[in-house]
Structure 1
Amino acid sequence: MTVPTLAAVDFGGPVDGPLILLGPSLGTSAATLWGGVADGLVTRARLVGWDLPGHGRSAPAAAFTIADLAAAVLALADQLGAQTFHYAGDSVGGAVGLQVALDAPHRMSTATLMCTGAVIGTPDGWHERAATVRADGIAPIVAAAPQRWFAPGFVERHPGVAAALLDSLSRTDPQSYAWTCEALAGFDVARRLTEIAIPVLAVAGRDDVPTPPESLQRIATGVSNGELVVLDGVAHLAPAEAPDRVAALIAQNVGLSPAPAAGTVDDVYRAGMAVRREVLGDAHVDRATAATTDLTADFQRMITEYAWGGIWTRPGLDRRSRSMITLTALIARGHHEEFAMHLRAARRNGLTDDEIKELIMQTAIYCGVPDANSAFRIAADVLSDDDAAGGAR
């Protein structure tokens, strides 16, 4: 067995905190893929990523298998002095996590596996891609990557993140990329999932084509202690596309305490304003800001600090869940104007029209039929107007 040497990417964190090892996707580096997630966890855990051979900081290596990579991850843990560790991995990094859980179950405490599978693609497909890279270099892969990696609209919303990931791909050693493809061609642990007993959180991107939600569902139901989460507005690189949501999910799976509050009131305000804009949209926040008067200025700041900076930034729930709770509370209290505003926010946070319908149906039982009737009337107007304006379904 050939055990490649994997370069470690140490994001920092308390030396006495739990260790979380972070595995990359094919064609990415740990720094570009996991940087945003690490920012959300580094005060509570030690974060160390690793790069595939010939990717990021790792030197190229001879042919290897997923089992070889799993052994290399265990060797990295040994170098870090860790008898046990938590693990999170995306795509091939998730496949390596499954292999480690099978080969050394006593070493891995929890696994958060995203955009991956117990088997990924087909052997013929991987061998074909390996042959393409050996013949034509990495350029054809870079050209096709945006459609394969990112959910619709991500590149336009986050051009810097996308550019950094594509630049990392363009610098990948073609031979090492091909070896990784051939390692995935030989990977299939679907029949062994029942052997995995550690807590496994399987995280899927709803828009992921290479490893769709069904692939993660297979993992979640196949292991002894599994759970599935599907992220809306996310494709194949969940850590880069939704770092806040992924950080919160890892923290929950690992059992980390909530993130400490920002150091100053201004920090809280800035964090709250960022989330407020992401959830409600720039247009709404700009209108609210423009309408602020001396009479309402303190109230607006209080909302931003306490609601958006104090609550919506907490890692314990993702934004979809917070939207559902908020809509339910607004229906129950009859706050129709706020309900209309948060319907649009709920769509931005990934809720579908069917999920909104089911939420209102649920409130009919627990909040009252008249409240639900009003909610359906408002939803019909708001969602149709949002569609007319080009809002997402």
Structure 2
Amino acid sequence: MSVTAVRLGGRPDLPLLVLGPSLGTSVTTLWSRAAVLLGEHFQVVGFDLPGHGHDRSAPESLTMAELAGAVLETVDQVTDSIHPVAFHYAGDSVGGAIGLQLLLDAPERVLSATLLCTGAKIGTEEAWRERMATVRASGTPTMVAGSSQRWFGPGFLEKEPEAGGALLHALSDAVDGGYVAVCDALAGFDVRARLGEISRPVLAVAGAEDPVTTPTTLGEIADGVVDGRLEVLDGVGHLAPVEAPEVVAALVRAHALGEVAPEVGEPSGDAMTRAEVRAAGMGVRREVLGDTHVDRAVAATTGLTADFQQLITEYAWGSIWTRPGLDRRQRSLITLTALVARGHHEELAMHLRAARTNGLSVEEIKECLLQTAIYCGVPDANTAFRIAQQVLSED
């Protein structure tokens, strides 16, 4: 049995940050937005649970200790180091439970831990056994309706339908046996009596609207460990990394690097300036290009391309597209013209779709391309019209 590593950004020479997902989610759908912000300061590596995301295994049974051991094995494989590498850790729900187990079983490997929407014991053994029986009989799609109610704070699905839909799709797509095995680990997990053994710094993060692991549950962790602190995020449910990625990234970074923690909801001073720019840029990038395109780009990020992705998000989208001097329709017209002039055809197709999202009509795009025929050249405009014909016919 093993979990599957997923590289989420950053350079290999940066401190290692390991991210753990929640039951029913892939680490990419849950953490990718926060990982973009964290990639400037860490080599970010996540893992998929058995049967989830990139991992399609289905072990017969599991314990939390076995999952924690599998995470250590995966980290050793990723780092390919002669000596075991210590790392920072952040995990949501069962990912947080794995973090507690790591702190107990291998404290020398964990530099800091941010534990989100989790507990030293989550639910009851009876409830987990009932869920296991349901999934064995009817499959993970039967969990979607209940999870859509438990996972998110008020209004999140209406505000972020694509992000919420991707998470629920990941749940439906999970391998039944893998999901059941992780439930088995949760059914037998209870380290409440051992919290006092944990001396590494722990930040416990709760969602104020989380019905599964309440702020009281996270408070028990913060109070029980030797060096713990609690943060409660207003309006957030059970999946904080996707519901409040900017705030979560800021908290993880400050906790891991020993910085003064920002006020929740009000990132502080100069230390947050670039993070705020990146967060604003990512918001505009998603609004203009769509979550599907951006999530695909983030998922494809490697150690080679991570800095370039950050450059695009911070400077193109965060510093230029967010400026108030031109509206997005005007910026789309300028961008289309520049792409025609330079012959960047793949980018032209992408920005033709973006132009429609930004409110340009087909007629206005046509006029823009006619203008390029005069000032950029007829051959360039001819190619642009061909690409536009193909892209706009998709509407």
Q: What amino acid is aligned across from residue 149 of structure 1 in structure 2?
A: W
Match of 2:116 in 1: 114
Q: Structure 1's 101 and 159: CA in aligned 2 closer, same or farther, altered over 3 A?
A: same
1:95: which partner in 2?
97
Output the amino acid matched with 1:161.
A
2:71 aligned residue:
73
Residue in 2 aligned with 1:56?
Answer: 53
Question: Within 5 A, what are the aligned runs for 1:156-167?
Answer: 156-167=158-169
Deviation at 1:273, TM superposition (A): 9.3
**Structure 1 segment 269-280 matched on structure 2, within 5 A:** 271=281
Report the aligned-residue RMSD: 2.5
Query: Which consecutive segments of 4 or more residues in structure 1 shift more than 2 A?
Result: 256-262, 267-274
Distance in 2 (CA, whole Å) between partners of 1:135 and 1:11 is: 34
Larger CA deviation: 229-238 vs 137-146: 137-146
Quote the offset at 1:256 in angstroms. 7.0
Task: Decide whether the 8 Å contact of 1:120 with 1:211 is kept in 2.
Answer: yes
Q: Deviations over 1:155-201 (max 9, x none)?
A: 00011100110111110011111111111010000000000000000
| Alignment partner of 1:38 is 2:35 | yes
Structure 1 residues 345-384: aligned runs within 5 Å: none
- Post-superposition shift, 1:268? 7.9
Residue type of the alignment partner of 1:104: A
Q: In structure 2, what residue type is equivalent to 1:235?
A: G
- Say whether 1:127 aligns with 2:125: no
How far residue 77 of structure 1 moved from its aligned partner, in angstroms, is 1.7
Measured in 2, the distance between the counterparts of 1:272 and 1:88 equals 21
Q: State how far apart, in whole Å, the 2-side matches of 1:273 and 1:139 are.
A: 30
In structure 1, what is the Cα distance between the partners aligned to 2:25 and 2:280? 30
Aligned to 1:6: 3
CA distance in 2, matches of 1:240, 1:255: 22
- Indicate the residue corresponding to 1:18 in structure 2: 15
Distance 1:123 1:269 in 2: 40
Report the alpha carbon displacement of residue 59 of structure 1 after superposing the two structures with TM: 2.6
Q: Distance in 1 between matches of 2:133 and 2:279?
A: 52
- What 5-or-longer segments of structure 2 have no aligned partner? 260-270, 288-317, 324-395
| Correspondence 1:105 to 2:107 | yes
Q: TM-score, normalised by structure 1?
A: 0.66
In the alignment, what sits opposite 1:314?
none
Tell me: CA distance 1:268–1:76, structure 2 relative to 1, closer, same or farther (3 Å): closer
In the aligned structure 2, how far is the partner of 1:161 from the partner of 1:86? 26
Of all paired residues, the percent bearing the same amino acid is 51
Task: Give the superposition deviation at 1:15.
Answer: 1.3
Corresponding residue SS for 1:178 = helix
Q: Which residue pairs with 2:238 in the alignment?
A: 236
